[in-house]
Chain A
Amino acid sequence: MKQAFQSPSGILLALILAIAFIGPLLPLADPLAMDVAARFGGPSAAHPLGQDEYGRDLLSRLVHALRSAILISGGAAMISAVIGVSVGVVAGYVRGFSEALSMRVMDVILCFPPLLLAMLAATLYGAGPSTLVPVLALVFVPSFTRVAHASVMTVRGQDYVDATRLMGASATRIIFRTILPNIVGPLFVQFSFVVVMSVILESGLSFLGLGVLPPQPSLGMMIGTARSTFAQEPWLLLAPCLSLIVLVLVLNAFCDHLRQLFDPRRESGA
């Protein structure tokens, strides 16, 4: 774990996380406070990055948007990891009917394009984070199930699992104490990929107005509304775009780094 953050991408990610979570505690302007008189105001001491079309502080909005992007996608990834891994591990270990059933259900979920599924849910249950998180979680469950299932299949064939069975260990003990520790590598990598995907999907939905509800700031929504005033004030569009690009690139680089760390050929061991 230590090694994971001892890399350029790890340091950058730590920095972004720090900004997103400590940012709201800093003496920044209220991201929701409007000041229509000073709309499109340029950078000043009170508003380092300027003001948007309602005169709200851009820097403060970016920090809050970053925070909600990370919370929503991180939370969704967490939920789908818990569900997906449990289903995958049970399917891979128990086999038989439960395996066939759960893997086919996952195939059905995979058939829906993620964006369409999310739009459907948002229309049915209304937009907002309380719909967004479960929908994102549902969309990514199959990816975890498949990775967990495949890894369990490899590990359960190893002699040390048979050896543990011969010691008289119960199925639960074998799953939690023998198999799970040996498949965390690929699962961890999958988790970081899913976070990246959720960030992209979340901003896409917010861009369409199906994600985070206004006036709460979100990167996708900020990009969406700034389109109309692009000619007048290009920076309002560029700033959230750049933030999104940096976030995704850093997360991607971090994923690659993690994947290398867990590569079995590295003989990572401990």
Chain B
Amino acid sequence: MSRNRENMTVTQSAEHPLLQVQGLTVGFRRGGQWNDVVRDVGFSVSGGETLAIVGESGSGKSVTSMALMQLLPRDNSRISGQALFRGIDLLQLDERQMERIRGDRISMIFQEPMTSLNPVMTIGAQIAESILTHRRIGKAEARAEALAMMDRVRIPSAKSRYDDFPHQFSGGMRQRVMIAAALACQPDLLIADEPTTALDVTIQAQVLDLIKELQAESGMGVIFITHDMGVVAEVSDRTLVMYHGDVIESGTTEQIFRRPAKAYTSALLSAVPRLGSMTGNAVPTPYPVFDIASGKLREPGPRPNTLREGPPYLLQVSDLSKRFAIQSKLLKRTIARVHAVEGVSFTLRQGETLSIVGESGCGKSTTGKLITGLHDRDEGRVVLAGRELGAIPAVERAHDIQMIFQDPYASLNPRLRIGEAITEPLRIHGKASATEQREIAASLLTRVGLQPEMAGRYPHEFSGGQRQRICVARALVMKPKVIVADEAVSALDVTMKTQVVNLMMDLQQEMGLGFVFISHDMAVVERISHRIAVMYLGEIVEIGPRAAIFENPRHPYTRRLLGAVPVPDPARRHQRGAAVVTELRSPVRPPDYRRPVRRYLEISDDHFVLDSGEDWQ
């Protein structure tokens, strides 16, 4: 497959590339002024070749692709430059001519598979529609082709799922449908805009493999837009790095990874979490900080271990369970239950970070909400700092446990200035005078790396990374013993992610905090954790010290999770085994379901794995 592609790249790119973009500049009108958001971008893509456009949010990578497809609103955007596609300048075409190219010669897939399919049309009809729009063939023929397409994108039992609706498909399967619809007319060029960002790692690996296979079969060119350097290393031949609307570096992916020319590219690469980079480190270590000014990577010094062995424990959780009833519409009878959390037990010691990892729907967030008391538990015990959780009044519980949420946009009250937001707990508890509150807000803002003067601003004036720091500051104001961080860095750009993770580790050092770090990102988890619990379908399938989980994973699911993480090294891209097409199973059970008796096997000191029997044979 790879040899095939190399041949094509050599023969075609030398003569005439598929798409040649020169001097592309895109401006938007805001108020009465034109703002250039993409400046003088140039690149070319040949058949069979994959070009990655990398950058963080706001770098203009998506705008570039939208401009090529002329999908930007014509009245308040301004596009100049040249984009020759097979000799035709795309930017000169009118809407009618563009319609003939879109979906037929150039196709696009988007980030959000949940919203890019029409919810009231069947899957098959949506694929057939894209064929019927561009070709004069009969309905029956289109149906046959759509079915063939569904087979090609490896949707299991395509025939019986043809008439299913999008909501009956999982996220990964929907992205396959999107790909099928995009490729139905055998386009010469596919533009994939963050196609795997919203997917779980094991599903991401499958979708990336699929795109590569289809490309090898058809020889199309692919423009892959992403912020994830791991994905870049996995798929692309050449890479374009964008920063604030400018192309700052371009070249073959190997060159960029091996010898980045620009400081920003190095910063981006140093921020890429690498699995295995912690091997041999006994304690969690912050990310090396890249100093853009000097162009040097600053490695963190050796750290004392923050973990204090033995009791008193911060958290003791035993046999925690939570089920959500699914009721029938009419009689409100329970027809099934979602077993979100099943028999979860763990402890958290002082200064320890316990990570809970797993894919969407595995119950990790519900576990977080159960131990903070946001959800009521059905079974089990939670002992927080020596006291039964239910026996602690809400007011006192605030001193013991706080939470940082995933979405920094939803977790700050839009009507509160951030100074007020940070000190709100103090007002609830009547703890401090107005002057003291201002001082505390100022010092906490400084502590999380923001300016004290920012206290008077509203949340919408901040970026995602800054907001997440504000949330950290708010969680700290009560001086809690435990902080539950629910996917706290998942929504952030890579450089922001490393900063927030480093901040959390510094705070742990200073204050002896215990973290329950809930995440699906194995690479970040490897950095930050002392211990790791892997969850699948509501149960902990493996729990143990970080080194044990990463170097000696025992449960098949843990192995699958680790194997699916993209390796940010283009030289090693083919080492990962082909992923099996799987779907996450659902934790919905009939009302009379009884959980089988579970046994945990002790592999080594403190390393336990669930003996799940036949399920995983």
- Chain A interfacial positions (CB closer than 8 Å to B): 158-160, 162-170, 173, 178, 181-182, 267, 269-270
Contacts and interface: CB of A to CB of B under 8 A. Distances in A.
B398 A166 contact: yes
B460 A267 contact: yes
Max chain B C-beta neighbours (<10 A), residue from A158, A160, A169: A160
B415 A182 contact: yes
Contact of A164 (B372, B397, B413, B471): B413
A166 B411 contact: no
Contacts of A170: 394
Interface string B372-407: 111000000000000000000111111001110111
Contacts of A168: 393-398, 425, 428-429
A101 to B, nearest CB: 16
Nearest to B412: A160
B562 interface: no
Contacts of B401: 166
Contacts of A163: 403, 405, 411, 471, 474
A165 B413 contact: no
Max chain B C-beta neighbours (<10 A), residue from A158, A168, A182, A269: A168
B346 interface: no
Max chain A C-beta neighbours (<10 A), residue from B413, B414, B428, B478: B413
Contact of B428 (A160, A162, A169, A270): A169
A178 B460 CA distance: 17
Given A168-B395, A173-B428, A269-B414, A162 B403 contact: yes
Nearest to A179: B413
B429 A159 contact: no
B28 interface: no
Contacts of B429: 167-168
Max chain B C-beta neighbours (<10 A), residue from A162, A163, A270: A163
A229 B460 CA distance: 61
A270 B413 contact: no
Interface string B167-208: 000000000000000000000000000000000000000000
B424 interface: yes
Contacts of A166: 372-374, 397-398, 401-403
A267 B462 CA distance: 13
Contacts of A160: 410-413
6 contacts: A163-B474, A165-B374, A166-B397, A168-B393, A173-B428, A181-B415
A158 B393 CA distance: 23
B458 interface: yes
A170 B430 CA distance: 13
A167 B424 contact: yes
Nearest to A173: B428
Closest 4 CB pairs of A and B: A159-B411, A168-B398, A168-B395, A159-B405
B405 A167 contact: no
Max chain A C-beta neighbours (<10 A), residue from B372, B407, B424: B424
A165 B369 CA distance: 12
B372 A159 contact: no
Nearest to B408: A159
B348 to A, nearest CB: 17
A169 B406 CA distance: 21
Interface in B442-462: 458, 460
Given A166-B374, A267-B460, A269-B460, A158 B398 contact: no
Contacts of A181: 413, 415
Contacts of B415: 181-182
Interface in B355-372: 369, 372
Contact of A167 (B407, B460, B478): B478
Contacts of B405: 159, 162-163
B424 to A, nearest CB: 6
B395 to A, nearest CB: 4
Contact of B458 (A164, A182, A269): A269
Contacts of B397: 166, 168
Given A160-B413, A173-B428, 13 more contacts: A158-B410, A159-B410, A162-B411, A163-B474, A164-B424, A166-B372, A166-B398, A167-B429, A167-B478, A168-B429, A169-B428, A178-B413, A269-B460
A156 to B, nearest CB: 12
B390 to A, nearest CB: 15
A167 B458 contact: no
Contacts of B471: 163
A247 B402 CA distance: 53
B416 to A, nearest CB: 8
Nearest to A169: B428
Nearest to A162: B374
Contacts of B396: 168
Contacts of A182: 413-415
A160 B459 CA distance: 12
B398 A167 contact: yes
Contacts of A162: 369, 374, 403, 405, 411
Nearest to B477: A167
Nearest to A181: B415
A162 B458 CA distance: 19
Contacts of B398: 166-168
Contacts of B478: 167
Nearest to B398: A168
Max chain A C-beta neighbours (<10 A), residue from B374, B414, B471: B414
A158 B412 CA distance: 9
Interface in B110-127: none
A11 B415 CA distance: 27
A160 B407 CA distance: 10
A159 B402 CA distance: 13
A270 B406 CA distance: 24
Contacts of B458: 269-270
B324 to A, nearest CB: 15
A159 B413 CA distance: 9
Given A159-B405, A162-B374, A181-B415, A167 B428 contact: yes
Contacts of B424: 164, 167, 169
A159 B407 contact: yes
A158 to B, nearest CB: 5
Contacts of B407: 159
Contacts of B410: 158-160
A182 B406 CA distance: 21
A138 B135 CA distance: 60
Nearest to B411: A159
A178 B412 CA distance: 11
A170 B411 CA distance: 18
A270 B429 CA distance: 26
Max chain B C-beta neighbours (<10 A), residue from A167, A182, A269: A167
Contacts of A158: 410-411
B221 to A, nearest CB: 36
Contacts of A270: 458
